[in-house]
Amino acid sequence: MSRAINLSLAESELIALCRSARIGVSAIEPLKSGGTRLVCMTREGADEIRRRLAGNIIDGEVDRHRFYRPP
């Protein structure tokens, strides 16, 4: 299972939930199409989020912002 999850929740809500559940966050980003993409540090953390927020998971492809990394 992937550590990345697309959810129909605000970034601030996810950060608060991850802190309270002691789930490490590797990356988090807002989605163009609405919602937030969350990448957990571990598969176990991602599984816990999926279990807790099953009704908020966005299925299928989502529209993401382009990411720029400076050289």
* Domain limits, the chain: 4-56
pTM value? 0.86
> Can you tell me the distance from the alpha carbon of 24 to that of 10, in angstroms, rounded to the nearest whole number?
17
Instruction: Give pairs for 27-30: CB < 8 Å, separation 24+.
Output: 29/64, 29/65, 29/67, 30/65
Q: What is the predicted pLDDT for the residue at 43?
A: 96
β-strand partners of 29? 37
Q: What is the predicted pLDDT for the residue at 47?
A: 96
Q: What is the predicted pLDDT for the residue at 68?
A: 54
Residue with tokens 């989020």: 49
SS3 10: coil
> Can you tell me the distance from the alpha carbon of 53 to that of 30, in angstroms, rounded to the nearest whole number?
17
